[in-house]
Structure 1
Amino acid sequence: MKKQYYVNGEWKSTTEYADLLSPHTKEVIAQIPQATHEEVEAAIDIAHETRKQMAALTAYERANILEHITQLFIENRKKAAEIISLEAAKPIKYALAEIDRTIETYKFAAEEAKRITGEMIPMDAAKNGANRFGYTIEQPIGVIGAITPFNFPQNLVAHKVGPAIAAGNTIVLKPASQTPLSALFLAELIDQTELPKGVFNVVTGSGKTVGDALVKSDKVKMITFTGSPAVGKGIRDSAGLKKLALELGSNSGLIIDKNVDLAQIVPKCVMGAFSNQGQICISLQRTYVMDEVYEEFLEQFSTLTNKLVIGHPDDESTEISAMIHPDEQERALSWVKEAVEQGSNIVSGGTIEKGIFLPTILTNVSATSKVSCQEVFAPIVLVNRISSIDEGIAAINDSDFGLQAGIFTNDILTAFKASKELEVGGVMINDIPTYRVDQMPYGGVKDSGTGKEGLKYTIHEMTETKLVVWNQQ
């Protein structure tokens, strides 16, 4: 079925199309328009022309539009989840969970739209500030270029579209090439709201054509991107002086201290490592377990991992299905083979069966193996032994990434130590690094990127702070 892209409230066709294949069945599920550079520029022009109309909407009006989007997702929850499952091979129960989070994200955006305020500045606190009255106001910046990944094709889009609307900006969205159907479905929903036409636009096509046009356009005032460090750094180098928010992934680590309740911890670790086939920016990738509990943890962890239900993403019982592309599965397999050649041991998985990469546990993994030092983005987790908390902290920090990390401990001083010394954007105490709720500040350090997601925090980045000073003399 040939799809159309969405600009200025209209569905548009183009000359070239690309087949979209199901990651699970490998069948063609749609033909996706491949927009030309000129068509992307036209979408940017529309967003640019509509920016004053959007900025004129009141906070009440913007909040109502976002509440309507929330309600439309509630009404279309199952359909939206089925689209995710079809194009991303995400097991349906996890796709439904993503839509539930998407609903919450737009709800938070609606609430935050009413809280966008500046602050009073105590001008007379300065020697030369007498008789002056100062305050700031937050104003929309204009056109937002949003470039989104395949792994959460509704909720990670919501983290860009929701705050952009709340702040009074216009948007040109370039969805991931593997998951455009979710973005086009979002356009169908938004088309039913009172959002002015031209404020929200979806342009499908290659990253080189669509992404480059967004990044290089002087009319686009901010790029918000979630994806690989290599692409993110390329955006940084090409974007000029426009604002950037770059969420570039991680190889998230977890420390497990002695004297903890493994029966409570292990199920969380299995979920953190293998949910969505490990294709999550904060997927549990590196686990460092104290000597005293190492053997017992590994036994429980592997036992539970081997019970995961592998199958078709449509099946409500399925927990593991195909990764996003066969090439990605082959890459993951090659990384496991490299780790084994460097001395690692395979406890579970490490193979592809019936087109599905099996959940894989590795032990004794070198810090220089790709499965340790790069973002694996696959159902692979390493479990290494440590003899001290300091050793675990050092191992997690020995990384080019720093998005989130976690520690399970019953010692309050150990928890405080980890919270201060772990070089990451977020530390989860007594939880996996994969934990996230959508209103919290979310973003990393080092090669994990710049900027924060989380509605209030993103809105601040999508506005300009203007200072106003009145001289009362």
Structure 2
Amino acid sequence: MMHAALGSERSLLIGGRWEAAEQVMPVINPWSGEALGAVACADPSHVARAVASALRGAEAMRDLSSGARSRILHAAAAALEAEAESFAAAITAETGKPIRAARREVARAVNTLRLSGEEAVRLAGETLAFDSFPGGEARSGHYVLEPVGVIAAITPFNDPLNLVCHKLGPAFAAGNAVVLKPAEQAPLVAIRLASLLLAAGLPGEALNLLTGRGGDFGDALTGHADVAMVSFTGGAKVAQAICRAAGIKRLAMELGGNGPVIVMDDADVGKAAAACAAGAFGAAGQNCVGVQRIYVHDAIHDVFQAALVAATEALRVGDPLDPATDVGPMIGGDEAARVIAWVDDAVARGATLLTGGERAGALVRPTLLADVPGDAPVACHEAFGPIASLFRFAALDEAIDAANGADYAIHAAIFTESHRTARHAARRLRAAGVMINDSTDYRLDAMPFGGAGRGNMGREGVGFAAREMSQTKVICYHDA
């Protein structure tokens, strides 16, 4: 079997073979501005062939035992772990993620594949009590979980390895085939992972991969009649286009958040400030569960603000390959310019710039704002950049109501030493997860993960995603 080289233009995986295309696009290192290589640009004709291949791959996966699927995923995890440093360097090169964070992502991806291997042999149904209702006394049976078939998986740039593993691992654990469309800005790590999975024994047509511009072939992929499910992580605008094109099929979507954190007057100020700085500015803020809005009790506001500014300014900004770097560049200059425009807009509306607000190319210095009007984009939309805003509050429910003001959320957080306060906030905060004395950006890859509020549907987290990618079949015996 051919293998795709990093940065190779032969980057379309169809029918177990790597192919080129008439058009190519460059992949740019956001720190250096250098081209890492080029990838092929798929079109609807490639989609048709990839889905046809995946249909055959789905039959091959269905025929594999759960033990065989598990062994493939565990073998892939072991191979990825053996190449961890090389994969981390590749993540840093194409995303600008600091190398320490890239290493953590690889470690998480290894865990995600291992969890998927474990889930493959845990996906089981249950017996059913048919005799629980009159007329069923002579019946017995159970239900099983079966794969849905072909899944279209579309992933973003910010975790180009682990988020791909969160699509592929559960899909293969459940016995499906996948057509993967990785992020335009960061497809190279996904290409390497695909080669690794095939080498681990995955059936050749179970994974098809299409690089290029989503606008060129996205509708053809998500709307294809033989695609049973679309699993998408990204922005609401693209999600709307997917919904229009997809028609009647399963959709799983994680569309971002606007992470609120509440800091109570009994909180450990130093711990809370350090956690908020790390949660807001890790991955240059390009994190769907990153800290964005921080609500601080009046009694400690000034002390906390000083501590947060100090923690933010202590972050080292620069070359992502330097192990001492905490914050690297954003994915590109256009996104960095957007972030600065949002900062300038907030300041023009009356916000106070506490620190940061400077840009050099794709690099944006970690930025803190105060006195931000509630209707400023930086407050009411997902910033997806290194910006956080501070707000005062006097009563807990006031802060909870403000935290719930955004119409979408993934995680919320509260810092407090009071168990009663923590339980009250956990009940009332409208989010899919509430972190107590921790940042919103904490995630365990085994836990259910997704959004609450507008536009989010389905759950990731290996076991939960594997079930979303399965369907039940009831088997009933009439013994009379």
Alignment of 1:270-289 (within 5 A): 270-289=277-296
C-alpha contact (below 8 Å) 1:249/1:448 kept by paired residues: no
What per-residue deviation string (whole Å, max 9, x for no partner) do you get for residues 312-344 of structure 1? 111111111110011111111111111111111
Within the candidate set 205, 227, 239, 1:220 is matched to 227
Q: Which residue of 2 aligns with 1:450?
A: 457
Q: Which residue of 2 aligns with 1:400?
A: 407
Cα deviation, residue 161, structure 1: 0.3
Alignment of 1:27-66 (within 5 A): 27-66=34-73
Q: Which residue of 2 aligns with 1:466?
A: 473
Q: Which residue of 1 aligns with 2:306?
A: 299
Cα RMSD (Å):
1.1
C-alpha contact (below 8 Å) 1:273/1:380 kept by paired residues: yes
Query: Residues 49 and 68 from structure 1, CA distance in 2 versus in 1: closer, same or farther, beyond 3 angstroms?
Result: same
Tell me whether 1:3 sits opposite 2:5 in the alignment: no
Tell me whether 1:200 sits opposite 2:225 in the alignment: no
SS in 1 for 2:477: strand
Tell me whether 1:167 sits opposite 2:178 in the alignment: no
Cα deviation, residue 441, structure 1: 0.3
C-alpha contact (below 8 Å) 1:248/1:447 kept by paired residues: no
Within the candidate set 329, 336, 340, 2:347 is matched to 340
Within the candidate set 304, 327, 333, 1:320 is matched to 327
The separation in 1 between residues aligned to 2:319 and 2:474, in whole angstroms, is 56
What per-residue deviation string (whole Å, max 9, x for no partner) do you get for residues 190-233 of structure 1? 12111110101111011122321221101110100000011112
**Residue 101 of structure 1 aligns to which amino acid in structure 2?**
R
Alignment of 1:116-131 (within 5 A): 116-131=123-138
Cα deviation, residue 448, structure 1: 5.2
What per-residue deviation string (whole Å, max 9, x for no partner) do you get for residues 83-133 of structure 1? 110010111111011000000100100111110101122122223322221
**Residue 313 of structure 1 aligns to which amino acid in structure 2?**
P
Q: Point out the more displaced range, 124-133 or 322-331.
A: 124-133
Tell me whether 1:142 sits opposite 2:146 in the alignment: no
Cα deviation, residue 355, structure 1: 4.5
C-alpha contact (below 8 Å) 2:158/2:287 kept by paired residues: yes
Query: Residues 169 and 354 from structure 1, CA distance in 2 versus in 1: closer, same or farther, beyond 3 angstroms?
Result: closer
Tell me whether 1:388 sits opposite 2:395 in the alignment: yes
Which 4+ runs in 1 deviate beyond 6 A?
A: none
C-alpha contact (below 8 Å) 1:204/1:210 kept by paired residues: no
Q: Which residue of 2 aligns with 1:114?
A: 121
Cα deviation, residue 354, structure 1: 5.8
What per-residue deviation string (whole Å, max 9, x for no partner) do you get for residues 239-294 of structure 1? 11111100000101011111111122221111100000000000100100111111
C-alpha contact (below 8 Å) 1:339/1:369 kept by paired residues: yes
Please give the TM-score of this superposition, normalised by the length of structure 2.
0.97
Cα deviation, residue 9, structure 1: 2.0
The separation in 2 between residues aligned to 1:297 and 1:147, in whole angstroms, is 40
**Residue 165 of structure 1 aligns to which amino acid in structure 2?**
F
**Residue 152 of structure 2 aligns to which amino acid in structure 1?**
G
Tell me whether 1:433 sits opposite 2:440 in the alignment: yes
C-alpha contact (below 8 Å) 1:229/1:449 kept by paired residues: no
C-alpha contact (below 8 Å) 1:174/1:210 kept by paired residues: no
What per-residue deviation string (whole Å, max 9, x for no partner) do you get for residues 21-43 of structure 1? 11111111111100121012101
**Residue 224 of structure 1 aligns to which amino acid in structure 2?**
S
C-alpha contact (below 8 Å) 1:7/1:43 kept by paired residues: yes
C-alpha contact (below 8 Å) 2:235/2:256 kept by paired residues: yes
Q: Point out the more displaced range, 37-46 or 261-270.
A: 261-270
Please give the TM-score of this superposition, normalised by the length of structure 1.
0.98
The separation in 2 between residues aligned to 1:201 and 1:355, in whole angstroms, is 32
**Residue 320 of structure 2 aligns to which amino acid in structure 1?**
P
Q: Point out the more displaced range, 127-136 or 8-17.
A: 127-136
C-alpha contact (below 8 Å) 1:229/1:447 kept by paired residues: no
C-alpha contact (below 8 Å) 1:250/1:448 kept by paired residues: no
What per-residue deviation string (whole Å, max 9, x for no partner) do you get for residues 389-430 of structure 1? 101110111112121101111222221111111111111122
The separation in 2 between residues aligned to 1:155 and 1:201, in whole angstroms, is 18
C-alpha contact (below 8 Å) 1:360/1:380 kept by paired residues: yes
Alignment of 1:357-368 (within 5 A): 357-368=364-375
The separation in 1 between residues aligned to 2:224 and 2:276, in whole angstroms, is 43
Tell me whether 1:261 sits opposite 2:268 in the alignment: yes
The separation in 1 between residues aligned to 2:248 and 2:477, in whole angstroms, is 30
The separation in 2 between residues aligned to 1:404 and 1:182, in whole angstroms, is 27
Q: Which residue of 2 aligns with 1:330?
A: 337
Q: Which residue of 2 aligns with 1:21?
A: 28
**Residue 9 of structure 2 aligns to which amino acid in structure 1?**
K
Question: Among the aligned pairs, what percent are the same residue?
Answer: 36
What per-residue deviation string (whole Å, max 9, x for no partner) do you get for residues 351-399 of structure 1? 1136511100001111111011100000000011111110111011111
Query: Residues 63 and 2 from structure 1, CA distance in 2 versus in 1: closer, same or farther, beyond 3 angstroms?
Result: closer
C-alpha contact (below 8 Å) 1:321/1:356 kept by paired residues: yes
Q: Which residue of 1 aligns with 2:91?
A: 84
What per-residue deviation string (whole Å, max 9, x for no partner) do you get for residues 145-193 of structure 1? 0000000000000000000110000011000000010111112211211
Cα deviation, residue 447, structure 1: 2.6
**Residue 234 of structure 2 aligns to which amino acid in structure 1?**
G
